[in-house]
């Protein structure tokens, strides 16, 4: 089985995003970038399936400018076999990303595609579901456990109120939730080895996908600030304030 893992370069999750003064966007200049945490989990899961002898090849793909090759190399160092960069300077919408990925699925023909459930920059939570729709495949979102069972997957999903297990036929699309696994760290020898692994570069035009934007961002603002609070001395004062000042209990 071949596994395809789309990954995204995003702002490091520890960095607090700052809005630009002209309200056009978030300021990403000289901000630390990293592999989206959910994508890291997706790469890890693909490698674990390969290590369990249930997959033969793990291909990683990223859409973005040359800088995203850094994240592809990270994924290669973690154990992926081959990388594809779809070169673009545009920040694409999920639908366009899904369409580009659908073309890659057509070319690479993986039995399984594993994506993160959401990117921590746009917080959309759409691409995996859209890719499943466009390729006519089953989907298993928010996975916290994936078991390969012949030509099926048993996937436990994190849903409101608990866990749900579904069975999906392969080929399928899975999106990862946080508790699916704990991603490994790349070792120095593996980072060196990753530099020699194949990395192909394609463009949106190569794949014949129209990426004309359909969403315009009119404005990006800071969320309204909360007024500074106060430190209270003891429990009695706290309860008194909640009752008489805030009137919430």
Of the candidates 126, 149, 124, which has an alpha carbon nearest to the alpha carbon of residue 139? 126
Identity of the residue, 82 or 157, whose beta carbon is nearer to another protein in the bound complex: 157
Pattern 142-171, another protein, x by CB under 8 A: x-x---------x--xxxxxxxxxxxxx--
Q: Are strands 172-176 and 138-149 parallel, antiparallel or unpaired?
A: parallel
* Footprint (CB under 8 A) of another protein, residues 99-138: 117-118, 120-134, 137-138
Identity of the residue, 161 or 189, whose beta carbon is nearer to another protein in the bound complex: 161
Q: What are phi and psi of 51, to 5 degrees?
A: -65, -30
Tell me if 22 contacts another protein by CB under 8 A.
Answer: no
Give the relative orientation of helices 69-78 and 37-51 as an angle to the nearest 10 degrees: 30
Minimum distance of another protein from residue 113's CB (angstroms): 14
Residue 207 CB neighbour total at 10 angstroms: 17
Identity of the residue, 179 or 195, whose beta carbon is nearer to another protein in the bound complex: 179
Pattern 75-94, another protein, x by CB under 8 A: ------------------xx
Q: Report DSSP letters for 38-107, one per residue.
A: HHHHHHHHHHHHHHTTS-SEEEEEEEESGGGHHHHHHHHHHT-SEEEEEE-SS---HHHHHHHHHHHHHH
Tell me if 216 contacts another protein by CB under 8 A.
Answer: yes
Identity of the residue, 72 or 98, whose beta carbon is nearer to another protein in the bound complex: 98
Minimum distance of another protein from residue 28's CB (angstroms): 10
Identity of the residue, 22 or 188, whose beta carbon is nearer to another protein in the bound complex: 22
């Amino acid at each position: 089985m071949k596994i395809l893992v789309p990954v995204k370069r995003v702002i490091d999750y520890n960095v607090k995003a700052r809005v630009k003064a002209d309200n056009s966007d978030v300021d990403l200049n000289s901000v630390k970038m990293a592999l989206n945490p959910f994508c890291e989990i997706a790469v890890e899961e693909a490698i674990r399936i390969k290590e369990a002898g249930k997959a033969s090849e793990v291909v990683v793909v990223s859409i973005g400018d040359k800088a995203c090759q850094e994240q592809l190399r990270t994924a290669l160092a973690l154990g992926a076999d081959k990388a594809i960069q779809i070169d673009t300077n545009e920040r694409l919408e999920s639908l366009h990303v899904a369409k580009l990925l659908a073309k890659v699925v057509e070319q690479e023909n993986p039995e399984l595609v594993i994506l993160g459930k959401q990117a921590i920059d746009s917080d959309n939570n759409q691409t995996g579901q859209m890719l499943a729709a466009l390729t006519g495949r089953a989907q298993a979102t928010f996975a916290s456990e994936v078991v390969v069972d012949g030509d099926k997957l048993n996937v436990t999903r994190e849903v409101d109120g608990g866990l749900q297990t579904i069975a999906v036929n392969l080929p399928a699309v899975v999106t990862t939730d946080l508790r699916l696994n704990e991603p490994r760290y790349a070792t120095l020898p593996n980072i060196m080895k990753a530099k020699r692994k194949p990395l192909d570069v394609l463009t949106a035009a190569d794949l014949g996908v129209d990426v004309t934007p359909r969403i315009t961002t009119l404005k990006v603002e800071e969320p309204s600030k909360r007024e500074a609070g106060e430190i209270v001395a003891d429990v009695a004062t706290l309860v008194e304030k909640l009752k008489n000042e805030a009137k919430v209990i």
